[in-house]
């Protein structure tokens, strides 16, 4: 099997961004065509959050309770009546989805059929526990079932994050409710594969119940496999199953998701490891997952999030994205992680939130190029790539989060970083980039070693987006010094400094 890109299209983006357009069947299906002839070989179509974007018979559709003839003061928007911008956004999604439905278009059926015509494998991806906006019980995004059953939520005694109000899968009512939608989706749509997105959102059991949850989700996944096996016979073709889980095996299992066991039992065909949202994770242990999957036929996807951040509290005045002070990945940073992930053994580059507008790359003009490059080392070769240290954004309850940055180097002390850059580069030139949040560095007060070799400070530098708002310094990095895989950075300073950004860039001349 050759490597390829899988791309996730969420449940609201298309409707929101096409709100002012006439949407005929021809226009709707043409959305798929932008991915034809690229490395996108799998389109994962997401039809749900807490509600569906199609006319479901078992869950609330997005427009339930909404009257398109009434103004913004209608009861459906009572929970957000003081936020006119949010009402406008919700109306775009709901109005467009309802308009498409009333015109007789089943958007997911149309897209599935178009995918096959242009040589793309159509999948459905279901969000298994979406908790957008749960701090507001009356938000119109919520389902009736969620509102009327607070006893089925993970935690009743606190609300410090949306995860606390997620459904608790230890309740049979919760599992049955989600199985209803799975059954409807497989009956309604003839897809090649079905993905259970356990990362939207990733907490599915009350604190302390995750161990029991392993057996519960194992059985749930078995039920899904049996269901898809039955429909394989009816459809006359294989129906693959995929999952999205946290980035490390221990985190996934500690949260009740024993994906390795699912693979060994033959319950899944694709496993995608991924961060949640806050940043792309440029150091997921892909090699470990591959070893654990050895002996199975499961393909491994490396999940790419759209955002890039060096640490949780990081903000940048330089950001130009819709996420305000957050950076999106550029073509060059996406290349960097793709080179690394493929070298570590990833079979699939899985893009999440890399859509064709709005929820998208800042350098959207490079979107077509990205879709034609990321899946293979051959198409990535001899192109500028950037490798930036980020962090893991998902931790099981009770774990102590650890982040390499920001890092303070005390006067006379030593700091160490490791950065995976994939294959050893053989052309172009390389540099180490350090972002200094506080303090100053000069060739007299700092020494930096890469893989044990002293590297030379060239001075202050500028980088294209993404980049921090604090000063960046460039160190010449001879290609002979670099290694395949991890490159070790060790530094000392005679003055106290705080490092907030670490990057290796490989530039083609």
Secondary structure class of 185 (helix, strand, coil):
helix
What was the pLDDT predicted at 65? Answer: 97
What was the pLDDT predicted at 323? Answer: 84
Check pLDDT > 70 for residue 347: yes
CATH of domain 4-273: 3.20.20
If you average pLDDT over every residue of the chain, what do you get? 97
Check pLDDT > 90 for residue 438: yes
Mean of pLDDT values over 379-404 = 97
For 467-486, the pLDDT digits (tens) are 999 999 999 999 999 999 99
* Length of the chain in terms of residues written: 509
Check pLDDT > 70 for residue 311: yes
Alpha-carbon torsion 49, 280, 13, 321, what sign?
Answer: positive
Q: pTM surpassing 0.75?
A: yes
| Stretch(es) of the chain classified as CATH 2.60.120.1200 | 407-507
Render 260-300 in DSSP notation, one character per residue: HHHHHTT--SEEEE---SSS--TT--HHHHHHHHTTS--EE
Exposed / middle / buried, residue 162 (Cβ in 10 Å: 0-12, 13-18, 19+): middle
Mean of pLDDT values over 429-434 = 98
Quote the tokens at residue 55: 């006319």
Measure the CA–CA gap between 292 and 504, rounded to whole angstroms.
30
Compute CA distances 298 → 198, 263, 289, whole Å.
17, 6, 11
For 42-99, the pLDDT digits (tens) are 999 999 999 999 999 999 999 999 999 999 999 999 999 999 999 999 999 999 999 9
For 278-308, the pLDDT digits (tens) are 999 999 999 999 999 999 999 999 999 999 9
Check pLDDT > 70 for residue 226: yes
Mean of pLDDT values over 411-419 = 97
CATH of domain 407-507: 2.60.120.1200
| Stretch(es) of the chain classified as CATH 3.20.20 | 4-273
Provide the angle, in degrees to the nearest 10, between the axes of the packed helices 25-33 and 107-117.
50
- What are residue 232's phi and psi, to 5 degrees? -60, -40
Secondary structure class of 388 (helix, strand, coil):
strand
Secondary structure class of 156 (helix, strand, coil):
coil
What was the pLDDT predicted at 320? Answer: 74
Mean of pLDDT values over 363-382 = 97
What was the pLDDT predicted at 1? Answer: 66
What was the pLDDT predicted at 60? Answer: 98
Quote the tokens at residue 128: 């298994």
Measure the CA–CA gap between 160 and 322, rounded to whole angstroms.
25
For 123-169, the pLDDT digits (tens) are 999 999 999 999 999 999 999 999 999 999 999 999 999 999 999 99
Nearest to 175 by CA among 165, 183, 187, 186: 183
Mean of pLDDT values over 254-273 = 98
What was the pLDDT predicted at 318? Answer: 79
Check pLDDT > 80 for residue 108: yes
Quote the tokens at residue 34: 């932008």
- Collect contacts of 480-484 with beta carbons under 8 A, ≥24 apart: 481/450, 481/451, 481/453, 481/455, 482/421, 482/424, 482/425, 482/430, 482/450, 482/451, 483/424, 483/451, 484/343, 484/422, 484/423, 484/424
């Amino acid at each position: 099997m050759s490597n390829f890109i899988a791309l996730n299209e969420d449940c609201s983006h298309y409707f929101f961004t096409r709100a002012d357009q006439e949407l005929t069947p021809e226009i709707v299906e043409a959305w798929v065509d932008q991915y034809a002839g690229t490395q996108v070989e799998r389109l994962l179509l997401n039809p749900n959050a807490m509600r569906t974007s199609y006319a479901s018979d078992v869950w609330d559709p997005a427009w339930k309770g909404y009257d398109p003839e009434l103004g913004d003061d209608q009861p459906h928007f009572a929970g957000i009546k003081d936020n006119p911008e949010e009402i406008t956004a919700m109306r775009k999604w709901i109005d467009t989805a309802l308009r498409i439905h009333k015109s007789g278009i089943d958007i997911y059926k149309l897209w599935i059929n178009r995918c096959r015509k242009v040589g793309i494998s159509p999948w459905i991806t279901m969000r298994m526990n979406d908790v957008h906006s749960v701090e507001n019980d009356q938000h119109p995004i919520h389902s009736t079932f969620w509102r009327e059953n607070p006893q089925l939520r993970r935690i009743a005694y606190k609300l410090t994050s949306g995860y606390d109000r997620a459904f608790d899968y230890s309740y049979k009512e919760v599992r049955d409710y989600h199985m209803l939608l799975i059954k409807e989706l497989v009956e309604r749509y003839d897809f090649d594969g079905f993905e259970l997105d356990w990362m939207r959102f990733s907490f599915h059991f009350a604190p302390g119940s995750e161990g029991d949850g392993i057996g519960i989700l194992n059985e749930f996944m078995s039920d899904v496999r049996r269901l898809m096996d039955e429909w394989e016979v009816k459809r006359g073709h294989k129906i693959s199953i995929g999952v999205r889980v946290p980035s490390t095996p221990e985190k996934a299992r500690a949260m009740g998701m024993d994906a390795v066991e699912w693979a060994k039992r033959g319950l899944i065909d694709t496993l995608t490891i991924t961060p949640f949202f806050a940043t792309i994770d440029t150091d997921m242990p892909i090699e470990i997952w591959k070893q654990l999957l050895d002996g199975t036929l499961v393909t491994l996807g490396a999940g790419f999030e759209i955002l890039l951040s060096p640490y949780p509290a990081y903000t940048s005045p330089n950001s130009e994205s819709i996420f305000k002070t957050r950076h999106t990945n550029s073509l060059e940073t996406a290349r960097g992680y793709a080179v690394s992930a493929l070298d570590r053994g990833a079979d699939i580059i899985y893009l999440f939130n890399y859509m064709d507008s709005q929820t998208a790359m800042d350098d959207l003009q490079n979107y077509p190029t990205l879709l034609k490059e990321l899946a293979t080392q051959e198409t990535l070769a001899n192109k500028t790539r950037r490798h930036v240290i980020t962090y893991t954004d998902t931790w099981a309850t009770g774990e102590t989060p650890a982040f390499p940055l920001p890092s303070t180097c005390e006067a006379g002390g030593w700091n160490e970083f490791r950065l995976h850059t994939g294959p050893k580069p053989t052309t172009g030139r390389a540099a180490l980039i350090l972002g200094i949040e506080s303090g100053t560095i000069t060739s007299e007060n700092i020494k930096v070693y890469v893989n044990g070799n002293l590297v030379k400070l060239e001075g202050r530098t500028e980088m294209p987006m993404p980049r921090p708002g604090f000063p960046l310094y460039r160190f010449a990095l001879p290609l002979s010094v670099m290694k395949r895989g991890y490159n070790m950075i060790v530094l000392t300073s005679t003055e106290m400094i705080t490092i907030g950004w670490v990057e290796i860039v490989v530039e083609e001349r």
